[in-house]
Amino acid sequence: MNAPPSPSPSPSPSRSPSPSPPSLAVRSLAYAYPDGTQALYGVDLTIARGERVALLGPNGAGKTTLVMHLNGILTAGHGSVSVAGLPVRPDTVKEIRRRVGLVFQDPDDQLFMPTVRDDVAFGPANMGLRGEALDHRVKHALDRVGMLDVIDRAPHHLSFGQRRRVAVATVLAMEPEILVLDEPSSNLDPFSRRELGEILRGLDITLLMVTHDLPYALELCERSLILSGGVIAADGPTRGVLADAELLAAHRLELPYGFAPPT
């Protein structure tokens, strides 16, 4: 176990309420899958513009299901979701999907085109961008994650860490209002994990990160939520949440061995 060095607090954008509507507002959201399994039992959460928030929770807590609601892939069985004031509805779903950039856990699911260039261009091209403007958008997005040099490679020829960074670029190319990452650090070696962390910290964007990598949450997000049993069980500054050993234990969360809880 290599515990990372004591993480430095990220430069924290203030949590003061902004005049614009929150980037994300979820109200009493409930959902059951077609096979009958109910995953969400009434989730409430608000994320202000510019915030970086970690969504923590054990396996099976409903994290992925919640994420699928944020851009209208799943539609609420009950309750509502709105992004920058725009409610998620069948008629708004196109604009919602531009506003919410979803990075999936397995980059192989996200990178489905024959080359990196095609893949990063997929989103903006669907939004109607063509020619020079499209090309510029693609290169800029790849540059932001430091992957410009693999632009003409096939995704399955890249390393796992590279694929994850390209997956982030595919979403950045759509210039979203909020970036939602599902387990961004999973399967990464320590070096790639740190590199990705630096890239994410450098992005000036609202960010929701679903993870059970608690040190990563502490490193990148000033605020944390715990989703457990299909409801939000805790909401507060990441330091406070991670320092509460009882709270973590109650929701099957654990700091890695040798990692000092923040004080």
What residues contact 118, with CB distance under 8 A and at least 6 apart? none
Q: How far is the CB of 247 from other proteins (least distance, A)?
A: 23
Q: Which two tokens stand for residue 85?
A: 């004031």
H/E stretch holding 100 reads strand 100-103
Closest alpha carbon to 13 in 179, 205, 236, 178? 205
Q: How far is the CB of 92 from other proteins (least distance, A)?
A: 13
When the beta carbons of 19 and 34 are compared against other proteins, the nearer one is 34
160 scored as a contact of other proteins (CB under 8 A): no
β pairing state of 38-47 and 223-228: unpaired
When the beta carbons of 35 and 246 are compared against other proteins, the nearer one is 35
Judge whether 178 and 101 are in contact, CB under 8 Å: yes
91 scored as a contact of other proteins (CB under 8 A): no
Interface segment toward other proteins; rule CB under 8 A; list 51-59, 66-74, 183-191, 200-208: 66-74
When the beta carbons of 125 and 233 are compared against other proteins, the nearer one is 125
What residues contact 138, with CB distance under 8 A and at least 6 apart? 117, 120, 121, 124, 151, 173
CA–CA separation, 10 vs 261, rounded Å?
A: 16
Interface segment toward other proteins; rule CB under 8 A; list 11-19, 112-120, 202-210, 252-260: 112-120
The residue ranges that bind other proteins (CB under 8 A) are 28, 30-32, 34-36, 38, 41-42, 68, 71, 73-75, 77-78, 94, 97-98, 100-102, 104, 106, 108-110, 112-115, 117-118, 121-123, 125-127, 154-156, 170-171, 174
